[in-house]
A = this chain, B = another copy of it.
Amino acid sequence: MKARITITLKHGVLDPQGKAIEGALGSLGFTGVENVRQGKYIELDVTETNTDQARSKLKAMCEKLLANTVIENYHIDLG
């Protein structure tokens, strides 16, 4: 089963990349762009076929490694 995990910075956490991208877009002449935030996107396959099992397993992966829950939120999409 395919899983897509998006990891985003919590509100209020400093995001140098997002800021830089926003600046760069501006200097490239792209106006009307705001609140750029950069996060991570992870795709993977789990052999687990039971959706609930898979989800709880992915949750554990995020908590243990994929996200730094002090500063990041994560969201899991399955199948």
Contacts and interface: CB of A to CB of B under 8 A. Distances in A.
Contacts of A37: 42-44
Contacts of A38: 40-43
Interface of A: 6-8, 18, 21-22, 24-25, 28, 30-48, 57, 60-61, 64-66
B33 A46 contact: yes
Contacts of A61: 25, 28, 30, 33
Nearest to A30: B61
12 contacts: A22-B44, A25-B61, A25-B65, A32-B48, A34-B47, A35-B44, A36-B43, A37-B43, A38-B41, A39-B40, A39-B42, A40-B41
